[in-house]
Structure formats: structure tokens, C-alpha cells
């Protein structure tokens, strides 16, 4: 009896310490590589993530900024680093667009698309006080102006422009795309009445009472402040039921199972954290946790879509 | 009276030792970062954003805005003393500030820059507090055609920059404009002249180019002229400007403050353009235009009042509409978001203590800057007494670190040295370098707004849009006038 107890204790200690040897990831700070400059949207998102993740692990997180070429530089930096699990990268859908439009040789299959954390429905944003601020009014005006209606947004061939082209095609209208340096400048142009629509996400109108979301691309209406916003589906526009702008994290392929599992556990916990959910929901987006299989599918699909559209525009060969 | 109460509330937020310590820290960090070539106001603010994360939101934003306003002054210190603008907008300050130092009047140069910055900064904040909302609304109404006209007006100021040879100044500005064609074209999304290099995808960064053209080029010139002797400026006078000298430039400061604030309000314009335009306007209206470029106190005052007042102007669209008006504004927007605050009209309603706290802090920060600047000037001025053999290697080292700091990229360091060589060649053949900076700063604004206006309404828009047409006409006249004057004097 006694011997068994001693044996059990020894087993417990040995297995415990073995488990400890295996469970020691991470043993140094984890770097989150962000493609925006400090203070940019991606930087803010990553720091928020780090602050909440800190509650579940002793690991330290360091956000490092590697701006350049709309994310291509940051991804190249990840590809050059060892796959030891100490570097995560913040990624968004627009990075995929940049990989395509810059003609860079980045192979998305060499990256491990670990977690898609936020899904943000694409939306048409209009000026409240403009006489053209609903979907019906936009379509009617576009038809009346016959190609002279103006939509504003960031550079041609980017995420928003491609979304706009899909919308025009679905609605059977022709309009002009007037590109601005950034989303913020384009929204200023919308507020000044230089265009009638902007393609963005619900979060763009938060804190800007002049603007409203006219339509969202979502299978069903979203809640909160946006419960009054119709979806394309409701309006009878086909093929735009689930267009999203996503945000997530990836790393270089080849992580050990141990470090991979550590992250999966961490992403799961952050995703369920009430403060995290509140922060994301407040921005009109949805906190989600899509694992690698689903995430990679989305990335492949996006890459194919960007390639096809940019070829059509003549921006790439 | 409601506004008065709100402002009182703002000052109430500052009660206690913590906010005051935060403001003083912000001003010190701002002055030092501004003086350091490579740390522009936006970078300085960005570096402190993570640090402010753990602070209460009100204090965090007070810290960041104090840095913002002080860094615009800080840039003038190195511009005046060693001809190395610490911030892009201080490249205009260097035009007259450095000649003052060479004449042994460094104290006057620094002093007038400080006073102009303080008054300019204060005026900008005052306009921000009183008229933020209506001004922001007017700025939104400006169409791409109007922006194009404004940018062209900025380019026309080149005519007043070529001291003797306007042609050389124009070649310099064309060089700047050409540099800016490299990189992604933000209208069509196509990359231009990048030769497949990722590093060139976003073109050359302004800061490494600025450091190269101004600072590194001087180091090369010094190497070329090296005699082996350690020459030190014999006369270093830390005497401040007299009250009489101040009175002489008071109208310049006032006018430049208003110009700076107004230009600051336009999203996309900013401190550098404000400084160039106000320098140009001051030179044209001055009774001693021949002194410009040779150590005119008016020139220094015009540049510094304009760049500091543009801070208040740039905060107008951010606070009134939630639209960032400058690169630094974009960083501040991020800082607001980090604290779950959204700048814009609703912030005035939901968190007035934050908005008016910022206003009050900006006013206090200006005074703190004045006091610290007066003390600091005695210290800063000693830089000039450093022997050349130490000073110039130091400038080279700081320049390289500063270029690297912008994007943590070695490419920027090579670019900085490349621009240094170009700047050295320019100086050797007496071409001015300031127009190159003007070309780089305005390149995108001119091209993009022109193309945007044409996409929207065709080429006729520049004649139909009354405001754009008027500004274009003024730009044309102001460009031709110096040539006309030259021709007339030659005829005599």
C-alpha cells in the first residue's frame, strides 16, 4: 500500500516534470509583427489582443512594426525568420490584395494561417443629409447619371475598389471610382459631398454622425446600432451575401505541435473573453475563431479573386 | 458662455500634479524628438503611443498632444544651429536660421524661433477652440480642383527661393517632383519606376531624403574642404532677440500664425507646406526682402509661427469630424482607438473632459515650452562650439540612425547617403536644396488632385471651379512676378 503510494507519487512527480519540460513554450517574449506604423489600425488591434492574451499566459508580447508595401514587407520578414513560433504576424484581407498587386513571389502555402479572429461585413456608406443615401436612391441616381455618379475610396485595384466593382456588376450600374490616398481622406470627400458612396465597414461610421451605413453584405442583419441596416439579400441583390474584410494572425509554417497548440488554446480563450468581444462588436464587426483549414480556404479564394479582378483591370499581367 | 465653462472644466482636468508632470514630460520629449533629425512629430508621437496604453485615456492624450506641439518647435533648434532640420517643416527655418548662426547670432535665431513657435502654437489652439466645427465644414467643401490649385500655389513659392538664380531653384524643385513619381501610384494602384524592388514600392521616404540633402551633404562638403585645422565658430553669442527686434516681427508672427492654422486645417496639407507658403508671403510683403536667405529674423519667425500654428489647425478635422488632417493626426486617431475613444463630434458630447482637457493642456504646453526653451537655449547653443572634427562625424552618425529609425530599414540609410551625395553636388554648384523638399512634399498632392479632378469632371473643371481658377491665377502671377522684377531691374 505504502509502496504503491510512493510509486504513484514518483510517477506523478516524474510525469509532472516531463509535462513541464514539454509545456515550457513560450520561454521568451513573443513578437507580433504588424504591417502598419505605430498607432495604425492594425497596431491598435494587435496591442489590444496582446493586452487580453496576457491574462491567460505568462508570456510577454512585443508588438513590432514592419511597415512597407501594404504588408508585403512584414510577410517577407516572417518568411525570413525561423519557424520557432516566436513570431506571429497580424494579417488582413488587404494584404492578400497587395501580395497579388505587387507581383511579389510570396507563396501563401508557405505560411500557417493560424486564426481568423474578426469578420467585418463589407458595407456601402453614404452621407445622411445627401438626397441619395439609400440603396434604391443610389441605383436610381446611377442610372439617371449614366456612368457619371461618383464613388470615393482608396486606390484602384484595392480591396474596396474590387468590392465596389462586384456591387456595380450585381446591380447592373456604371459609376466612376475616384481614388484617394487613404480611406480617411475618401470619407472626408464623401462628407464634403464630392462623391455619393464609399465602400467600407460599419466601423467607419462610428463617431461620425454625418455618415450612415446604407447596405451591408451579410447573411442576416447585424445587431446593435446597425440593426436598421438592410442586407443585399433583403434588397434582392444576388451574390453579395457574405463579403467580409477579415483580420487574423499567421506564422511561418513548421511550428512544433506544442507551440501550435499553445496558440490555438490562446486564440480560443481570447475569442471568448468578454472584453475582447465587446471591443470587436463595438466596431460593428464579429469576433470569430476560424482555424487553419477554413482560414486557408478563404485566403486562397481571396487570392484567386484579386488575381482575376486585377487582370481584368489591366493592373497585372 | 458655455464654451467658457467647458474650457474652465478643461483646466479643472489639469488640476493636480500628475497632468502637469505629464505635460512637462511631453514637452521635453517633444523638443528633443523634434530636434533629432529622423524623429518627425508623427514618429515621436507614435513611439509614445504604446507607452501611453497603461495611462488613463485623458492623461495619455494630453501626453501625446504635448509632444505633437513641442516637436514642431524642437525641429528649429538643429535647423538653426547646424543646418539640419529636425522636422521637415524646419527646413524652411534653416534658410535663415543657419545664416544667423554663421554670423554668430545663434541666440537670436533660437530665440525668435521659440517666441514665434509659442505665439503660433497658441494662436492655432485658440482658433481650434473657437472655430473648430465651422472651419472643418468649410475645409470639407474644397474639391480636388481646389486642392490642386492650393498645391500649385505652394509650388509657385519656389520663385522666391532661388536667391539669385530662379532657374536653379526650378531645377531643384523638378528634381523633387521627379523623385516623388517613384513608387505606387495611389490613383491607379500601379507601381512606377520601382524596377521590381519592394523597397521602392512606396517610393523614397521624406525623412531620409531630408537628412541627406541638408545634413549629410554638409558633412561631405566639410570633408572636401578639410584643412586639418579644427575650426570653431569664433563668435557665439547667446544673446536673445531684443524687445525691439521682437516688435519688428510681431506682424509677421501674427500673419504666419493665421496662414499656418488655415493650411493646417486642410487634410493633406500640413506644417511643411504652411511654412513654405508663409515664408513666401512674408518675403513678398517685407520691407527688407533682400535679407531673406541671409539671416532674416522675419524669415525664421514666419517659418516657425506657421509650422507650430498648423498643429492646432490639423487637430480641427480630427476633433470636429474624426478625419485625420496630418500624419500625426492619424497616429493620434490610433491612440484614441486604443483607449476605446472615437474622435469626432460625439466625443464633445460623450467625453467633454477629454476634449477640453486636451485644449487646456495644449495652452499650458505652450507656456511650458517657452520656459523650457528659454532655459534650454543656453545649453543647446553650446553645440555650435563643438569642434568640427567631433561635430560632423556626430551629425553623420545621428543622420544614419535617424534614417534607420523611420521604418527600421537599411534601404532608408542608403537612400539618406545617396541624397547626401546629391545634396553635396547641389551645394557645390550653388543649387538650393530647400526646393527639393518642397517638390517631394507637394509632388503627390499636385499630381493626385489634378488627376482626381479630371476623373471627376474633366479638364474644364479648372476654369469652372471659381475658387480653383482664382487660386491658379494668383499662383501664376506670384510665379511670374519675380521674373518680371528681375527683367525690369536689368532694363534699367
Find out whether A222 and A286 touch, Cβ atoms under 8 Å.
yes
Contact A184 B343 (CB under 8 A): no
Whether the CB of B267 is below 8 Å from some CB of chain A: the reply is yes
Which residues in chain B are closer than 8 Å to A225, comparing Cβ atoms?
A: none
- Third-level CATH fold of A8-120+245-313: D-Maltodextrin-Binding Protein; domain 2 (3.40.190)
Cell numbers for A279: 471591443
Contact A155 B338 (CB under 8 A): no
Q: Which residue has the higher pLDDT, A8 or B446?
A: B446
Nearest CA in chain B to A281: B340
Which residues in chain B are closer than 8 Å to A145, comparing Cβ atoms?
A: none
Strands A211-216, A197-200: pairing kind: unpaired
Query: Cell 496662414 belongs to which residue?
Result: B259
pLDDT at B345: 80
For the packed helices B434-457 and B144-156, what is the interaxial angle rounded to 10 degrees? 160
Query: What's the CA gap between A53 and A57, in Å, rounded?
Result: 7
Stretch B251-263: mean pLDDT, rounded? 94
pLDDT tens, residue by residue, B406-452: 777 889 999 999 999 999 999 899 898 888 988 988 888 899 999 99
Q: Where in chain A is the domain with CATH 3.40.190.10?
A: 123-226
pLDDT tens, residue by residue, A60-98: 898 888 877 788 889 998 999 888 889 999 999 989 988
Whether the CB of B236 is below 8 Å from some CB of chain A: the reply is no
Query: What's the CA gap between A52 and A270, in Å, rounded?
Result: 7
For the packed helices B166-179 and B434-457, what is the interaxial angle rounded to 10 degrees? 60
With bands split at pLDDT 50, 70 and 90, how would you rate the model's confidence at A296?
A: very high
Residue pairs between chains A and B whose CB atoms are closer than 8 Å: 138
The secondary structure of A150-187 as a DSSP string is EEEESSTTSHHHHHHHHHHHHHT---EEEE-SSHHHHH
Average pLDDT, chain B: 87
Contact B187 A156 (CB under 8 A): yes
Q: Which residue has the higher pLDDT, A151 or A313?
A: A151
Percentage of chain B lying above the pLDDT 70 cut: 96
Q: Which of B219, B203, B177, B189 is nearest to B409 (CA)?
A: B203
Q: Which of B296, B290, B293, B264 is nearest to B277 (CA)?
A: B264
Stretch A167-193: mean pLDDT, rounded? 89
Percentage of chain A lying above the pLDDT 90 cut: 43
Contact A207 B144 (CB under 8 A): no
- Give the best residue of A34, A37, A38, A39 to mutate against chain B (max B CB count within 10 A): A39
Query: What's the CA gap between A265 and A271, in Å, rounded?
Result: 10
Cell numbers for A241: 451575401
With bands split at pLDDT 50, 70 and 90, how would you rate the model's confidence at A23?
A: low
Stretch B281-290: mean pLDDT, rounded? 88
pLDDT at A33: 93
Contact A69 B198 (CB under 8 A): yes
Euclidean distance between the first and final Cα of chain A, in Å? 78
Q: Is the pLDDT of residue A11 over 60?
A: no
Stretch B183-197: mean pLDDT, rounded? 81
Query: What's the CA gap between A61 and A74, in Å, rounded?
Result: 17
Q: Delimit the domains of chain B by residue range.
A: 2-491
Query: What's the CA gap between A1 and A184, in Å, rounded?
Result: 74
Contact B455 A178 (CB under 8 A): yes
Q: Is the pLDDT of residue A21 over 50?
A: no
pLDDT at B231: 59
Q: Is the pLDDT of residue B467 over 60?
A: yes
Query: What's the CA gap between A198 and A141, in Å, rounded?
Result: 15
Find out whether B309 and B258 touch, Cβ atoms under 8 Å.
yes
Q: Which residues contact B138 (CB under 8 A, 6 or more apart)?
A: none
Instruction: Say which range, A1-5, A95-99, B457-461, has the weakest mean pLDDT.
Output: A1-5
Query: What's the CA gap between A281 and A284, in Å, rounded?
Result: 5
Q: Is the pLDDT of residue A15 over 60?
A: no
Query: What's the CA gap between B295 and B96, in Å, rounded?
Result: 4
Contact A184 B408 (CB under 8 A): no
Q: Is the pLDDT of residue A260 over 60?
A: yes
The secondary structure of B365-381 as a DSSP string is HHHHHHHHHHHHHHHHG
Stretch B336-355: mean pLDDT, rounded? 83
Find out whether B314 and B270 touch, Cβ atoms under 8 Å.
yes
For residue A217, give Cα distances in angstroms to A233, A236, A245, B99, B198. Answer: 8, 12, 10, 61, 34
Considering CB atoms only, which of B49, B338, B452 is closest to A178? B452
Which residues in chain B are closer than 8 Å to A69, comparing Cβ atoms?
A: 184, 198, 201-202
- Kindly state the helix (H) or strand (E) to which residue B483 belongs, with its residue range: helix B466-491
Stretch B138-164: mean pLDDT, rounded? 83
Query: Cell 504588408 belongs to which residue?
Result: A71
Name the 3-class secondary structure at B417: helix
Q: What superfamily in CATH does domain A123-226 come from?
A: Periplasmic binding protein-like II (3.40.190.10)
Query: What's the CA gap between A37 and A90, in Å, rounded?
Result: 12
Find out whether B70 and B366 touch, Cβ atoms under 8 Å.
no
Query: What's the CA gap between B420 and B416, in Å, rounded?
Result: 6
Query: What's the CA gap between B89 and B300, in Å, rounded?
Result: 12
Amino acid at each position: 500500500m505504502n509502496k504503491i503510494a510512493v510509486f504513484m507519487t514518483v510517477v506523478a512527480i516524474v510525469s509532472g516534470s516531463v509535462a513541464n519540460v514539454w509545456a515550457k513554450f513560450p520561454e521568451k517574449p513573443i513578437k507580433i509583427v504588424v504591417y502598419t506604423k505605430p498607432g495604425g489600425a492594425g497596431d491598435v488591434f494587435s496591442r489590444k489582443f496582446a493586452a487580453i492574451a496576457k491574462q491567460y499566459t505568462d508570456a510577454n508580447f512585443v508588438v513590432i512594426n514592419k511597415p512597407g508595401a501594404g504588408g508585403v514587407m512584414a510577410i517577407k520578414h516572417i518568411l525570413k525568420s525561423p519557424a520557432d513560433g516566436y513570431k506571429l504576424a497580424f494579417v488582413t484581407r488587404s494584404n492578400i490584395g497587395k501580395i497579388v498587386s505587387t507581383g511579389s513571389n510570396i507563396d501563401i502555402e508557405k505560411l500557417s494561417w493560424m486564426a481568423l479572429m474578426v469578420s467585418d461585413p463589407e458595407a456601402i456608406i453614404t452621407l445622411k443629409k445627401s438626397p441619395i443615401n439609400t440603396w434604391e436612391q443610389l441605383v436610381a441616381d446611377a442610372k439617371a447619371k449614366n456612368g457619371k455618379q461618383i464613388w470615393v475610396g482608396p486606390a484602384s485595384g484595392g480591396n474596396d475598389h474590387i468590392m465596389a466593382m462586384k456591387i456595380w456588376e450585381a446591380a447592373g450600374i456604371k459609376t466612376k471610382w475616384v481614388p484617394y490616398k487613404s480611406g480617411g481622406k475618401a470619407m472626408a470627400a464623401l462628407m464634403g459631398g464630392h462623391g455619393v458612396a464609399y465602400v467600407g465597414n460599419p466601423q467607419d461610421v462610428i463617431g461620425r454622425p454625418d455618415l450612415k451605413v446604407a447596405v451591408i453584405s451579410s447573411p442576416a442583419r447585424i445587431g446593435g446600432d446597425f440593426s436598421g441596416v438592410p442586407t443585399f439579400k433583403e434588397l434582392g441583390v444576388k451574390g453579395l451575401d457574405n463579403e467580409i474584410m477579415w483580420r487574423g494572425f499567421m506564422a511561418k509554417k513548421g511550428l512544433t505541435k506544442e507551440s501550435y497548440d499553445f496558440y490555438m488554446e490562446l486564440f480560443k480563450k481570447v475569442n471568448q473573453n468578454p472584453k475582447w468581444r465587446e471591443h470587436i462588436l463595438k466596431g460593428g464587426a464579429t469576433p470569430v475563431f476560424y482555424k487553419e483549414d477554413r482560414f486557408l480556404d478563404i485566403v486562397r479564394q481571396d487570392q484567386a479573386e484579386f488575381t482575376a479582378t486585377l487582370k481584368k483591370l489591366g493592373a497585372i499581367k | 458662455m458655455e464654451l467658457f465653462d467647458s474650457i474652465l472644466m478643461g483646466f479643472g482636468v489639469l488640476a493636480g500634479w500628475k497632468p502637469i508632470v505629464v505635460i512637462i514630460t511631453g514637452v521635453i520629449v517633444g523638443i528633443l524628438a523634434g530636434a533629432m533629425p529622423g524623429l518627425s512629430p508623427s514618429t515621436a508621437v507614435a513611439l509614445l503611443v504604446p507607452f501611453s496604453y497603461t495611462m488613463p485615456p485623458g492623461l495619455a492624450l494630453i501626453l501625446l498632444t504635448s509632444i505633437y506641439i513641442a516637436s514642431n518647435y524642437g525641429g528649429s533648434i538643429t535647423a538653426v544651429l547646424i543646418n539640419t532640420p529636425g522636422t521637415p517643416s524646419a527646413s524652411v527655418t534653416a534658410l535663415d536660421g543657419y545664416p544667423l548662426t554663421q554670423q554668430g547670432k545663434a541666440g537670436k535665431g533660437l530665440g525668435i524661433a521659440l517666441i514665434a513657435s509659442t505665439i503660433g502654437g497658441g494662436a492655432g489652439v485658440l482658433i481650434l477652440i473657437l472655430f473648430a466645427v465651422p472651419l472643418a465644414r468649410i475645409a470639407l467643401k474644397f474639391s480636388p480642383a481646389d486642392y490642386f490649385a492650393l498645391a500649385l500655389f505652394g509650388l509657385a513659392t519656389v520663385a522666391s527661393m532661388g536667391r539669385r538664380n530662379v532657374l536653379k531653384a526650378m531645377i531643384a524643385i523638378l528634381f523633387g517632383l521627379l523623385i516623388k513619381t517613384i513608387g505606387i501610384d495611389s490613383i491607379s494602384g500601379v507601381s512606377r519606376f520601382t524596377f521590381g524592388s519592394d523597397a521602392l514600392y512606396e517610393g523614397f521616404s521624406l525623412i531620409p531624403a531630408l537628412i541627406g540633402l541638408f545634413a549629410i551633404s554638409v558633412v561631405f562638403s566639410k570633408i572636401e574642404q578639410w584643412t586639418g585645422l579644427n575650426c570653431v565658430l569664433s563668435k557665439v553669442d547667446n544673446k536673445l532677440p531684443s524687445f525691439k527686434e521682437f516688435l519688428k516681427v510681431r506682424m509677421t508672427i501674427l500673419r504666419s500664425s493665421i496662414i499656418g492654422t488655415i493650411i493646417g486645417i486642410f487634410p493633406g496639407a500640413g506644417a511643411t507646406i504652411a511654412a513654405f507658403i508663409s515664408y513666401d508671403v512674408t518675403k513678398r510683403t517685407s520691407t527688407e526682402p533682400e535679407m531673406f536667405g541671409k539671416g532674416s529674423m522675419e524669415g525664421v519667425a514666419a517659418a516657425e509661427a506657421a509650422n507650430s500654428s498648423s498643429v492646432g489647425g490639423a487637430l480641427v478635422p480630427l476633433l470636429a469630424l474624426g478625419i485625420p488632417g496630418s500624419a500625426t493626426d492619424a497616429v493620434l486617431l490610433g491612440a484614441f482607438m486604443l483607449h476605446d475613444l472615437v474622435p469626432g463630434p460625439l466625443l464633445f458630447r460623450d467625453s467633454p473632459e477629454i476634449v477640453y482637457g486636451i485644449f487646456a493642456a495644449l495652452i499650458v504646453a505652450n507656456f511650458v515650452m517657452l520656459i523650457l526653451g528659454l532655459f534650454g537655449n543656453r545649453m543647446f547653443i553650446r553645440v555650435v562650439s563643438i569642434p568640427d572634427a567631433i561635430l560632423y562625424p556626430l551629425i553623420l552618425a545621428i543622420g544614419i540612425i535617424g534614417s534607420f529609425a523611420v521604418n527600421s530599414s537599411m534601404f532608408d540609410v542608403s537612400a539618406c547617403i545617396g541624397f547626401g551625395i546629391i545634396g553635396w553636388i547641389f551645394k557645390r554648384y550653388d543649387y538650393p536644396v530647400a526646393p527639393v523638399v518642397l517638390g517631394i512634399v507637394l509632388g503627390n498632392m499636385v499630381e493626385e488632385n489634378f488627376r482626381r479632378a479630371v476623373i471627376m469632371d474633366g479638364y474644364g473643371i479648372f476654369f469652372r471651379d471659381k475658387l480653383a481658377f482664382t487660386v491658379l491665377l494668383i499662383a501664376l502671377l506670384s510665379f511670374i512676378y519675380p521674373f518680371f522684377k528681375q527683367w525690369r531691374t536689368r532694363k534699367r
